[in-house]
Amino acid sequence: MAVAEENILEALKQVRDPELLINVVDLGLVYEVGVEEVDGKTDVRVVMTMTTPACPFGPELIREASRAIGRLPGVGKVDVQLTLVPPWTPDRMTEDARDELGMF
């Protein structure tokens, strides 16, 4: 059975930006989620960004996102890629993230 995109996004909500302490989904750092069924498992590809190109936590974000997705039942390979195009802007945040940061 395929792993749904909504389950992947829920798993990614466990990954927090180390500087802002908000999850990567609500921050709008996740740009793309792709799934492919291979040999009874769901391979997952995620494209995400960071809040700034100078963020030193890129490897940590990739590692934590891969772990969170990999814990989902039925997941096969996990490929998390970072991109800086388009650059992240605060308008990608959810209302919940804005509230947590006090941005009204």
Radius of gyration of the chain (CA): 14
pTM of structure: 0.92
Percent pLDDT > 90 in the chain is: 85
Range of the domain at 39: 5-99
| CATH number of the domain to which 21 belongs | 3.30.300.130
The pLDDT of residue 12: 98
pLDDT in tens, 29-53: 999 999 999 999 999 999 999 999 8
**pLDDT confidence band for 103 (50 / 70 / 90):** confident
Which residues are bridge partners to 41 per DSSP?
38
Token output for 51: 């809040």
Please report whether residue 28 resides in a domain: yes
Please report whether residue 83 resides in a domain: yes
Which residues are bridge partners to 46 per DSSP?
33, 80
The domain total for the chain is 1
The pLDDT of residue 60: 94
Please report whether residue 50 resides in a domain: yes
